[in-house]
Amino acid sequence: MDTLTYNQCEIRFGNLKDSGFNDLLASPRYAQSKKIIITDSNVFDLWMEDFITSFPAVSEAEIIQLPPGEENKVLDICQHVWEALSEYEIGRGDLIINFGGGVITDMGGFIAATFKRGLSFINIPTTLLSQVDASVGGKTGIDLGPFKNQIGVFADPDFVFIDSRYLTTLPDVELDSGFAEMLKHGLIADAEYWNDLQAINPKLIPAGLIKTIYRSVEIKRQIVTEDHLEKGLRKNLNFGHTIGHAIEGFCLSKDAAIPHGFAVAWGMLAESFISLQKGLIIQTMFDEINKTIRKRYTKLNLTENDLEEIKPLLLNDKKNVGGVISFTLLTEIGKAVHNQEVTAEQIDAGLCFILS
């Protein structure tokens, strides 16, 4: 079984049943801990019976089942979970197991990190997006209205278990959503990896993604190990997210939510166009990115009037400093630069381009 580590977190890749998961929970580290499983109704219906019956160490765990979807990654839901943890008399020596996609690992990690000033938690991500991004790196948080991840803390899980078997029940749209973050890793850090991703058939097959999942996690792990609290290099991981989060938040506020990865994909294209405008990348590189995004991701159902509502959301991006919108942009495929100031005119052009 392949493993990676960062800080005190260990990431294990492979079939969960062969990962030592049950032995770990039965070890002195967790044997006396009460176990709480946080999941959503989708994962519960698909995988919970298999999970509980496969691992005796969680046979008596309390299960907290949450409604799925980004619209539920909010403080009210957290409060209900904190109240449940109090009813279960959960203490600081107990363990939360986040079993689900990015909403569950983001919110479950936040719930664990803030309850009684911090519980241990383990992430078992079940979507491609959460396996290559959300479950790794120590960012936890929830949304505030249309503003993505406005409330949160840095808190690392003890372990992350990545099992591609859980991807077999995902619809194609969810696989494509996660694939956007993989494309981002190639664009900001590894041109060869970007080329490898281009060779993957438009229809994504979970079994064929194992090596690329590992490479994406490896790239993120290298970055967060060097800059865990996002003071410098880690900001490169925000490529596509400044505009992408604004698009996602706008759509969510209109009850027309789109997958996170689709918003990020179009955000990457807009920010690549801005990179081109600023003379940071050459036309042929931009054309390659443009072709890739438009080939895989459905065009956004937005109008120019919508853009006027999206632009103010950029002003509340958590990466901004001193009222200046801060972007991560590309200098070539495989390299990025952060803390880039962008003019209002360049933002307008980038947004208009993705509507064309």
CATH assignment at residue 60: 3.40.50.1970
Q: What average pLDDT does the structure give for the chain?
A: 95
Q: How far apart are CA 131 and CA 138, in angstroms?
A: 13
217 shares a domain with 116: no
* 87/184 same-domain check: no
Over range 104-108, report the average pLDDT: 98
| pTM, two decimal places | 0.95
Same domain, yes or no, for 291 and 144?
no
**Residue 285 or residue 315, greater confidence:** 285
Which residues partner with 96 through β-bridges?
Answer: 36, 121
Same domain, yes or no: 62 and 86: yes
Residue 161: band (very low, low, confident or very high) from pLDDT cuts 50, 70, 90? very high
- Give the total number of structural domains in the chain: 2
pLDDT tens-digit map of 224-245: 999 999 999 999 999 999 999 9
Q: Is the pLDDT of residue 322 over 90?
A: no
- Given pLDDT bands bounded at 50, 70 and 90, which one contains residue 329? very high
| AA identity, residue 75 | L
Same domain, 98 and 157: yes
| Domain CATH number, residue 198 | 1.20.1090.10
Same-domain status, 82 and 41:
yes
| Mean pLDDT of the 256-273 span | 97
Please state the rounded mean pLDDT for residues 46-52. Answer: 98
239: left (phi over 0), alpha (psi -120 to 50) or beta: beta
CA distance 25 to 179: 31
Asked whether residue 89 carries a pLDDT value surpassing 90, the answer given is yes
% of the chain beyond a pLDDT of 90? 94
The token pair at 347 is 């933002």
Which amino acid, residue 179?
A: F
Q: Are 129 and 268 members of one domain?
A: no
Does 164 share its domain with 41?
yes
Structural domain of 95: 2-169
pLDDT of residue 36: 98
pLDDT of residue 323: 66
**Last-in-domain residue among 132, 148, 169:** 169
- The residue type at 65: Q
Domain finish residue from 126, 141, 169: 169
Percent pLDDT > 70 in the chain is 98
pLDDT in tens, 163-210: 999 999 999 999 999 999 999 999 999 999 999 999 898 899 999 999
User: Same domain, yes or no, for 195 and 336?
Assistant: yes
**Confidence at residue 320, expressed as pLDDT on a 0 to 100 scale:** 64
Cα-Cα-Cα-Cα torsion 264, 200, 295, 261, nearest 10 degrees, comes to -20
**Final residue of a domain: which of 143, 169, 195?**
169
pLDDT at 352 over 80: yes
250 in the same domain as 123: no
Mark whether 200 and 328 lie in a shared domain. Answer: yes
Kindly report, residue by residue over 2-19, the tens digit of the pLDDT: 999 999 999 999 999 999
- Mark whether 310 and 188 lie in a shared domain: yes
